[in-house]
Amino acid sequence: MFADIRTVVWRDWLVLNRRLGRFILSRMVSPILYLIAFGWGLGSQIQVQGGSYLDFIVPGILALNSMIMSFNAVGTPVNMSRLYYKTIEEYQIAPIAATSFVIGKIVSGIIRGTISSLVIILLSFAFGATLTVHGWFWLVLLLNCALFAALGFVAAMMMNSHEEMANFNTYILTPMSFLCATFFSTDRLPSFLHYLVEILPLTHASKALRLAGHNQDPSLLSVGILLGYFLTFLLIGVWQMKRIKG
């Protein structure tokens, strides 16, 4: 099983490695804009929870970016491979387990999400943010990448056109990007919205990364919720891969 996972990751790494430079450069654009607009621009005028807005927002940007990167690293290629290029059939007719394929794709998503997050961490230091990057921080970040890579897989297997995939982004990821404690504290939201965003994984990723980034232990409940979401999406993904047969 490990060899099969490695094969799936090997293929994706080969493709990524060919355009690693372009990939890293393109990943720098949005974070730089966020850091300029919310860090230097808006952030210079406000303080949040007794600290600078830049320090508040960097973990949020990391959570948001790793979500989008990991989701799209798996969702778009798997969806295209299933619906248009049919390259997924090469894995289906091979004597490998569905679980190996799904885990391999998730690992590829984690790699892309992590590279992208590293770029942001380095940029945020360049912008003067103070951030502690230790064990808990990496654990939460990797868990966030893993769960959204797994969600990307689930969406790719569920959506039957490129347009539906774009809609998934619009209706699920975009609202989470703005509402889930990325740019502001959810405490000030109206109570119904507050409780709604509290059940979403990105909220827990943002909060846990913020605590870990400020040298505090994140809530175990948040880590547990992220783990729970990841395992749920993983199981759904494996089930979908097994029943893909028409």
Kindly state the smallest distance separating residue 23's Cβ from another protein, in Å.
13
Cβ closer to another protein: 21 or 95? 95
Question: Cα(30)–Cα(34) distance, rounded to whole angstroms?
Answer: 6
Q: Identify the helix (H) or strand (E) that includes residue 152.
A: helix 135-158
Chain residues in the site for another protein (CB under 8 A): 3-4, 7, 10-11, 14-15, 85-87, 89-96, 245-246
Tokens of residue 163, six digits: 């347009």
Kindly state the smallest distance separating residue 229's Cβ from another protein, in Å.
30
Tokens of residue 133, six digits: 């990057």
Kindly state the smallest distance separating residue 112's Cβ from another protein, in Å.
14
The residue type at 156: A
Cβ closer to another protein: 91 or 233? 91
Cβ closer to another protein: 50 or 246? 246
Q: Any idea what DSSP says for residue 44?
A: G
Kindly state the smallest distance separating residue 239's Cβ from another protein, in Å.
15
- The residue count of the chain comes to 246
Tokens of residue 204, six digits: 């827990």
Kindly state the smallest distance separating residue 194's Cβ from another protein, in Å.
44
Cβ closer to another protein: 90 or 164? 90
Q: Identify the helix (H) or strand (E) that includes residue 15.
A: helix 2-18
Question: Cα(207)–Cα(185) distance, rounded to whole angstroms?
Answer: 9
Cβ closer to another protein: 100 or 117? 100
